[in-house]
Amino acid sequence: MNMINLTIDNRPISVEKGTSVLDAAAQIGIKIPSLCYMKLEDLNIENKPGGCRVCVVEVEGRRNLAPACCTEVAEGMVIKTHSMRAIHARRTVVELILSDHPTDCLKCAKAGNCDLQSLAQHLGIREIHYQGEQSTFREDTSPAIIRELDKCIRCRRCEMMCNQIQSVGALSAINRGFNAVVSPAFEMNLDHSVCTYCGQCVAVCPTGALTEVDHTGAVIRALSDPTKTVIVQTAPAVRAALGEEFGNDPGTLVTGKLAAALRRLGFDYVFDTDFAADLTILEEGTELLNRLTAYLGGDQNVKLPMLTSCCPAWVKFFEHQFPELKDIPSSARSPQQMFGSIAKSYFADKIGVNRKDLIVVSIMPCVAKKYECSREEFSVNGNPDVDFALTTRELAQLINLANIDFTSLPDEDFDNPLGESTGAGVIFGTTGGVIEAAVRTAYEVFTGKQLERLDFTELRGMEGLRHATIDFNGLPIHIGIAHGLGNARKLLEDIKDGKSQFHAIEIMSCPGGCIGGGGQPYHHGNAEILKKRQMALYREDQGKAIRKSHENPYITKLYEEFLGKPMSEKSHHLLHTQYFDRSKN
């Protein structure tokens, strides 16, 4: 290995050639402040425009200060990260950014989580010595994301996520100089663009320029309306991250406290989206087996590979970018929507409540779920199956508002019948989880044999594109997995070119899957957090008595009492959907 020797703040250090000054310093515990720079280790995500100049350091023998994020180490370099000159420059840069930034921190949605705010604190800025023009961009509201561009600091992290990682291309830097900002083409609103609402722009925005649409007020109103029965479902990835909002270490599972908190908030029934995830496996798994059987029987028209359809951002992505492939994904609705549909039919009948007096709230790690539940096909006579989708962050806000001391809550269980779930439902929250859950069920149904092992480690991991072959009693089933829409695009191009060898493909829009969703507690560029959340879900799966969706007794009961069998006419009506060509608008 080619090593480079240098000195940082009087300390000698030897690092690999090609290392940045920022990373080299971090290796010996020197944390140079940065703002636009962001790196998610092992996920191949890096934003390094070198634009903000907050990380400037003094390099002996150089006339100008050097940005540590994009300056490579060189032999014999002598670096000072906290010389008078470096500190002064850093503060000047931040003051200049602040001079064109709204000073409404007290009521900003990002307060407490804002990188700019933390940086100003870190540098001890008490006065802004510059006064100049203020940006006056218009605000843009969509079904899921709000853009408040006066708060944009042009770090271009959102643009990087939208283009390099997601390959969506909704956002680009536009204009020049003072008018420069990140925007969709022709400054159109986000909801007219190809945006998928994956929310990865929100997940990485250092300030309050990009935030989710806030539905907490609507939920509070519903909860205090005596004429309404308000029920809640909570997605798998939420339990692995919510604790972070209350000071728990990343990866802490708070399933029991989550149920307790929701009950204290006043929800009449506290249910689990994992139940609907099990239901999804029955429907989607059956669909896969039907397609496979037809294919093996020589049917030339059958569409393979089958793609998962749980992720609303992914659905919107292929509707815009690959409309010619819209028959390939499973027609199964997402767990959120399956839950809503069953809640407002089966469950509403069971408790004798009219669907318009039943409010379904979902807690999601996702901002695209807000958009999904507003899609017209998921409503009956204008009444949506899911009324409001809150992010994990919004739930934390509600818990605080209700004066609940989260960490001291007891562990409680979800209610029945829509709260019982298996380990298979739990792992829906991570990349690889949906397909693993599907394999557990599809294998047993297809072969009629019991699985000897349930942990399909070959399907797990954090690599953006993965594949594995599972032996279905002599029949090799080829499985592909992609997380991040840019990775998904590669698999779709192969399908388009007739090169895909897969039978089934799982796609999740967000890096890491739902654990890294746009509605989760902010990771501030720390990929370790995502990995710990992933481990937490596998832990919960392992601890479950039942780990296969088709063995969920309440799912069996639901089919017996109501749906008949998977892919029945009733299932089609309530649990399946169709996709639209959005390439023209």
Partner 1 sequence: MPKIKLSQRTIETVRNICASFDNQEGELINVLHEAQHKLGYLPAEVQELVAKELNMPVAKVYGVVTFYSFFNMLPQGEFPISVCMGTACYVRGAEQILHELKRQLNIEVGQTTPDGKFSLNCLRCVGACGLAPVVMVGEKVYGRVSPQQVRKIIADYQEGLIKAEKHEM
Cβ–Cβ under 8 Å, residues 325 and 495: yes
Catalytic annotation, pick one of 244, 245, 283, 287: 287
Cβ–Cβ under 8 Å, residues 338 and 345: no
Interacting residue with partner 1 among 123, 125, 174, 294 (CB under 8 A): 174
Q: What are the Cα distances from residue 160, in Å, to 19, 65, 151, 300, 523? A: 21, 26, 18, 41, 16
Catalytic annotation, pick one of 244, 284, 394, 436: 284
Distance CA 462, CA 412 (A): 31
Distance CA 572, CA 290 (A): 14
Catalytic annotation, pick one of 52, 310, 311, 510: 310
Residues 6 or more apart whose Cβ sits within 8 Å of residue 37: 22, 47, 48, 52, 55, 69
Q: Residue 378 is which amino acid?
A: F
Q: By C-beta, is 174 or 294 nearer to partner 1?
A: 174
Q: By C-beta, is 322 or 502 nearer to partner 1?
A: 322
Minimum separation from the CB atom of position 101 to partner 1 (A):
22
Minimum separation from the CB atom of position 168 to partner 1 (A):
8
Catalytic annotation, pick one of 20, 183, 309, 330: 330
Interacting residue with partner 1 among 87, 173, 302, 325 (CB under 8 A): 173
Minimum separation from the CB atom of position 317 to partner 1 (A):
13
Write the secondary structure of 101-162 as one string of H (helix), E (strand) and C (coil): CCCCHHHCCCCCCCHHHHHHHHCCCCCCCCCCCCCCCCCEECCCEEECHHHCCCCCHHHHHH
* Backbone angles phi and psi of 151, in degrees to 5: -95, 0
Pattern 141-170, partner 1, x by CB under 8 A: ----------------------x----xxx
Q: Applying CB under 8 A, does 49 fall inside the site for partner 1?
A: no
Q: Is 212 among the catalytic positions?
A: no
Catalytic annotation, pick one of 69, 158, 373, 514: 514
Strand partners, 362: 233, 389
Q: By C-beta, is 156 or 239 nearer to partner 1?
A: 156
Catalytic annotation, pick one of 80, 110, 316, 369: 369
Structure tokens at 230: 């308000």
Q: Is 330 among the catalytic positions?
A: yes
Site for partner 1 in 180-199 (CB under 8 A): 183-186, 193-194
Q: Is 377 among the catalytic positions?
A: yes
Cβ–Cβ under 8 Å, residues 501 and 224: no
Q: Is 345 among the catalytic positions?
A: no
Interacting residue with partner 1 among 171, 210, 359, 434 (CB under 8 A): 171
Q: Is 224 among the catalytic positions?
A: no
Residues written for the chain? 585
Minimum separation from the CB atom of position 190 to partner 1 (A):
11
Strand partners, 7: 12, 78
Q: What are the Cα distances from residue 161, in Å, to 43, 97, 171, 406? A: 12, 22, 9, 33
Q: By C-beta, is 168 or 260 nearer to partner 1?
A: 168
Minimum separation from the CB atom of position 169 to partner 1 (A):
3
Q: Applying CB under 8 A, does 178 fall inside the site for partner 1?
A: no
Residues 6 or more apart whose Cβ sits within 8 Å of residue 68: 20, 21, 22, 25, 32, 34, 55, 56, 57, 81
Q: Applying CB under 8 A, does 416 fall inside the site for partner 1?
A: no
Distance CA 33, CA 25 (A): 11
Minimum separation from the CB atom of position 281 to partner 1 (A):
35
Q: By C-beta, is 183 or 421 nearer to partner 1?
A: 183
Distance CA 528, CA 465 (A): 19
Q: Applying CB under 8 A, does 323 fall inside the site for partner 1?
A: no
Minimum separation from the CB atom of position 188 to partner 1 (A):
9
Q: Is 36 among the catalytic positions?
A: no
Minimum separation from the CB atom of position 191 to partner 1 (A):
14
Give the β-pairing of 504-508 and 475-483: parallel
Q: Is 514 among the catalytic positions?
A: yes
Q: By C-beta, is 192 or 449 nearer to partner 1?
A: 192
Binding site for partner 1 (CB under 8 A): 163, 168-176, 183-186, 193-194
Q: Which residues are catalytic?
A: 284, 287, 310, 330, 369, 372, 377, 514
